[in-house]
Chains A and B, each alone.
Chain A
Amino acid sequence: MIRTQFHIFIFVILFLFGGVAFADALSKDEAIKMFTAANEDHSQAVKLIAEKKLPEANKKLEEAALQYEIILSKGFRHGQIHYNLGNTYYRLGEVGKAILNYRKAQRLMPGNAEIDANLRLAKNSIEDKEAIHETPAVIQRIFFWFFLLNQNGLAVFSVLIYVMTMLLLIALVILKYRWLKRLIIGFTVGLLIAVVSLGIKMYMERGIDHGVIIAKNCPVRYGPGEEYETKYEIHEGAECVIEQVKGQWYKVYVHVGIKQGDSQQADADKKEDKEIRRGWLHKDAVGII
């Protein structure tokens, strides 16, 4: 009887935790090996660019991009990989994919100045300028933990505060020191703030789907299909928020200043609309952050 129970227990453990172990099909060593090789390709490409050997540089950059993509497709994610991939795409002239990967890197490594700098540079080179601004620096300083920690960091922070709170509660139960109550109140407030921050972060990163346009020119249509007329046109690198999915189409809204009308028209005729604008985009044109 006991032996049967033990077997069931082992089975449950394997069932529960086995998934995690098998999900990391790419080990850390393998990931590092591929990452190093990709970095080397990228560095060689930079030197080839310096030598103006552009076709060779192009090839090296494509090889580097492929290797970074393989690492990511195997489930191994890290801000550095996305950042380097962003750099590679940027050098390849694919600003949309570069911004997409910088954004992904930003989520994993928030507060990294290099990512922010390259993202700023990439966004400066796109056609549709943002009509909304980044969070003000004052807010970022006040809620620094929210802007400096990624989801995992906030989760670990919350767990640590939770453990500390529980330890203090246990100490209070055993030792009954009154001053511990104040500490517990402080830690409880901290825990509440950490959990709320984590919740907001998860909602912002997972609850709302953000996307980046990766196609050069992309018509935004009135409905989910080619048969619908083009409402306006959006360009590579612009960011959008996905509201609805229907088949191969996303319903999105954008905050960017979109150039209206026919792209062939004279610049003088183009108007900028800086309000939120909705429409339908084909899935292939959008990369989800």
Chain B
Amino acid sequence: MKKLTGFVWLFTLLTIIFGGMEKAYATEIGLTVTVDKNILTLDDKLKLTLTVYGAQDVSQPTFPEIEGFRVLYGPQISAQTRIINGEVSISKGYTYMLQPVAKGKYTIGSSTLTYKGRQYTSNPINVEVIESKPSTDTKTIDLDKLVFVELHTDKDAAYVYEQVTLYFRLYFQKGLPVADIDYTAPATRNFMEEKLGDQRQYEVVREGILYSVLELRTAIFPIVSGELAITPAKVKCNLIVQEQRNRRGTPFDDFFNDSFFDDFFGSGQRKYPVERITNPVLLKIKPLPEDGKPKEFKGAVGNFNMDTSVKTSRVRIGDPITLSISVYGDGYIQTINEPVLAFNNNDDFKIYPAESTTQITNREEVIRGRKVFSKVIEPQNTELRNIPAIVFSYFNPRENQYKTITKEPIPITVDSWEQEIPIQLAHSLEKSSSSRRQVQLLTQDILPIMTGLSSLKNQGNPVYKNPFIVGGLFLPAIVLVTTFFVVRHKDRLQTDIGYARNRRAHSVANKRLTLAQSALFGDSSSMFYAYLSRGIAEYLADKFNIPAASASGGKVEELLRNIGVSDDVIAEVARCLSDFDYRRFSSDAGTINERENSLKVAAQLITKLEKQL
């Protein structure tokens, strides 16, 4: 049954794993053709790779039509499976090494793949073959193609406070080791900014070359209108070059063979510093439209919603009601101002300034969050039946219009005190008679008294002065020490034979004496004395952890003397052992009284020994 259950579990697990993988693999099939460079000399070699994405059980794609090159060798087949953040991506590559045969501009034609009845075609690539000794300009072009950067935004025009996503991308040719990346962000004066998500890493093909891309995203919010410029971003990094001088023919060899790099970085690998600067980005920022602007609008731009709640709906005049207003959605949360309470009469409520907390809940694609306003209001008369409607206006840049959210009035009940008289505060401090103990009329009122009785207990007695608690602190310590000794005793009883025998010696001896007592009136006196003799001998053997047979007169005397037992007790032990053994094997059984006396002597002797051992 257990095996069956285990099998079912295994089957379920495998189904989940492979089912999940199948789902993960169920991506679109793609075919790309890439080269390692698209400008090369007649001395260079061109690495051409046909890559099939999304499947590995594919037939070889057709070799593209190429003029001006001959195939040196290939294809080298490679398969790759990558798991990034739980997403599985698979690919299969076919790499050829080509040799240019004549200078000129060539086009590498499309490759075709047929998979499960469908045909997939790659894009053509342009390649230029130049003279064997390239000029400095050409080298620069190639270096720029090796590593380059881009800075752009998701839109060219936006409203004030509308989110614009700024993308910075660092491209470097796949397989090129890049280290020590130092990014200097662009200056975004006139913008507020929030970082968006984590840095992304992916691959793209540009002009037939496969690049790895590092992407950083920032949400920027313009705070003024007009033509705004985002200054260029800058990145510094090092290309790591293994010291292999035999790679002849590439335009970078002259750079990397420089003795300066040899001296600076030593042998093994060399770092080639690269600095790249993006172009600036221009944005047209439009002011918010004046048409249709609601009077409650206070500058929030985005797409928002609003929730409201109160902690209590039944209060007495002057008691505080905490109103919680939560505004949430997409947009720059910091700019959300307090929603408006549509009072009919300003004297109906006494209003305290709201306190707010801001929280960004999502920053993957857009900045999303919530701002919670806690506002205390105090009703000033019993006629009030509800808290007035709460109104929040914002501008939605996607829909190009202002929106207003209105929350319906929240019903409340206001009870009176004994007399239904509202509390009124004077607007200035009255200095009529500033003697002591004169009631003050306050310009700013204090919060009301606390009337909760449930928690009213005497806090005046410190807990650490309570003798019960102080006394109780010793209890766990006592239990701990007791437990320690009990556990150690039990452990030693099981593991230390000498200890176990020592601890049990007295009880075993008492059992022997009990047996002797039962044999006291029997016919066999030898049995009686055998019990007595064995009782004392085994007691001593247990105490000294020696075999019972070794507990004879001379040995026992020596052991007892070594541990400082008094001479009279030692003599008594020797006498008893001798006497009991004699009587055990002799025909002189002795009278009942003599036997009783012997039993008594043996018991007293064991008691004495127990005290001294």
Q: Which residues of A contact B (CB under 8 A)?
A: 16-17, 20, 23-24, 28, 31-32, 35-36, 39, 42-47, 49-52, 54, 57-58, 61-62, 75-81, 83-84, 87-88, 90-94, 108, 114, 117-118, 121-122, 150-152, 155-156, 159, 162-163, 166-167, 169-170, 173-174, 198, 216
Residue pairs across A and B with Cβ atoms less than 8 A apart, 20 shown, are A20-B466, A24-B461, A31-B458, A35-B453, A36-B451, A42-B449, A50-B421, A54-B438, A54-B439, A58-B439, A75-B460, A78-B457, A78-B458, A83-B449, A87-B449, A92-B438, A121-B444, A155-B462, A159-B473, A166-B476
Question: Is B398's CB within 8 Å of the partner chain A?
Answer: no
Residue of A nearest to B444 (CB): A121
- Given the interface contacts A16-B467, A17-B468, does A174 sit within 8 Å of B487 by beta carbon? yes
Most chain-A CB neighbours within 10 Å: which of B456, B459, B469? Answer: B459
Alpha-carbon separation in the docked complex, A248 to B423 (Å): 43
Say whether A57 contacts B467, CB under 8 Å: no
Say whether B484 contacts A173, CB under 8 Å: yes
Say whether B441 contacts A49, CB under 8 Å: yes
Say whether A93 contacts B447, CB under 8 Å: no
Say whether A28 contacts B458, CB under 8 Å: yes
Say whether A152 contacts B459, CB under 8 Å: yes
Q: Which chain A residues border B464 with CB–CB below 8 Å?
A: 151, 155, 198
Distance to closest chain B CB from A87 (angstroms): 5
Interface mask (B436-448 → A, CB under 8 Å = 1, otherwise 0): 1111111010111
A78 is contacted by which of B434, B437, B459 (Cβ under 8 Å)? B459
- Given the interface contacts A77-B458, A173-B484, does A83 sit within 8 Å of B450 by beta carbon? yes
Say whether B458 contacts A151, CB under 8 Å: no
Question: Is B417's CB within 8 Å of the partner chain A?
Answer: yes
Say whether A43 contacts B480, CB under 8 Å: no
Say whether B447 contacts A39, CB under 8 Å: no
Alpha-carbon separation in the docked complex, A155 to B459 (Å): 13
Q: Which chain B residues border A92 with CB–CB below 8 Å?
A: 436-440
Residue of B nearest to A166 (CB): B476
Residue of A nearest to B442 (CB): A91
Residue of A nearest to B320 (CB): A114
Question: Is B422's CB within 8 Å of the partner chain A?
Answer: yes
Q: Which chain A residues border B453 with CB–CB below 8 Å?
A: 32, 35-36
Question: Is B305's CB within 8 Å of the partner chain A?
Answer: no
Closest 6 CB pairs of A and B: A77-B460, A166-B476, A155-B463, A50-B423, A84-B449, A80-B450
A50 is contacted by which of B424, B437, B451 (Cβ under 8 Å)? B424
Residue of A nearest to B450 (CB): A80
Alpha-carbon separation in the docked complex, A75 to B484 (Å): 43
Say whether B480 contacts A166, CB under 8 Å: yes
Q: Which chain B residues border A57 with CB–CB below 8 Å?
A: 439
Q: Which chain A residues border B480 with CB–CB below 8 Å?
A: 166, 169-170, 173
Distance to closest chain A CB from B220 (angstroms): 28
Distance to closest chain B CB from A252 (angstroms): 22
Say whether A46 contacts B487, CB under 8 Å: no
Question: Is B477's CB within 8 Å of the partner chain A?
Answer: yes
Q: Which chain A residues border B483 with CB–CB below 8 Å?
A: 170, 173-174
Residue of A nearest to B419 (CB): A47
Question: Is B175's CB within 8 Å of the partner chain A?
Answer: no
- Given the interface contacts A32-B456, A42-B449, A75-B460, does A170 sit within 8 Å of B437 by beta carbon? no
Alpha-carbon separation in the docked complex, A57 to B464 (Å): 42
Say whether B456 contacts A28, CB under 8 Å: yes
Question: Is B318's CB within 8 Å of the partner chain A?
Answer: yes
Q: Which chain B residues border A58 with CB–CB below 8 Å?
A: 437-439
- Given the interface contacts A91-B439, A163-B476, does A118 sit within 8 Å of B458 by beta carbon? no
Distance to closest chain B CB from A69 (angstroms): 14
Say whether A87 contacts B446, CB under 8 Å: yes
Alpha-carbon separation in the docked complex, A79 to B477 (Å): 34
Question: Is B479's CB within 8 Å of the partner chain A?
Answer: yes
Q: Which chain A residues border B477 with CB–CB below 8 Å?
A: 166
Say whether A159 contacts B437, CB under 8 Å: no
Say whether B437 contacts A93, CB under 8 Å: yes
- Given the interface contacts A80-B452, A162-B473, A173-B487, does A93 sit within 8 Å of B436 by beta carbon? yes
Say whether B449 contacts A50, CB under 8 Å: no
Say whether B423 contacts A47, CB under 8 Å: yes
- Given the interface contacts A80-B452, A91-B439, does A162 sit within 8 Å of B476 by beta carbon? yes
Residue of A nearest to B445 (CB): A121
Distance to closest chain A CB from B28 (angstroms): 49
Alpha-carbon separation in the docked complex, A256 to B476 (Å): 48
A114 is contacted by which of B447, B460, B473 (Cβ under 8 Å)? B447
Say whether A118 contacts B447, CB under 8 Å: yes
Q: Which chain A residues border B461 with CB–CB below 8 Å?
A: 20, 23-24
Distance to closest chain A CB from B356 (angstroms): 15
Alpha-carbon separation in the docked complex, A167 to B463 (Å): 21
Say whether A117 contacts B456, CB under 8 Å: no
Alpha-carbon separation in the docked complex, A47 to B459 (Å): 31
- Interface set, chain B 253-291, CB cutoff 8 A to A: none
Q: Which chain A residues border B467 with CB–CB below 8 Å?
A: 16-17, 20
Residue of B nearest to A46 (CB): B423
Residue of B nearest to A35 (CB): B456
Q: Which chain A residues border B456 with CB–CB below 8 Å?
A: 28, 31-32, 35, 78, 80-81
A159 is contacted by which of B419, B440, B451, B469 (Cβ under 8 Å)? B469
Alpha-carbon separation in the docked complex, A155 to B473 (Å): 12
Q: Which chain B residues border A32 with CB–CB below 8 Å?
A: 453, 456
Alpha-carbon separation in the docked complex, A88 to B450 (Å): 12
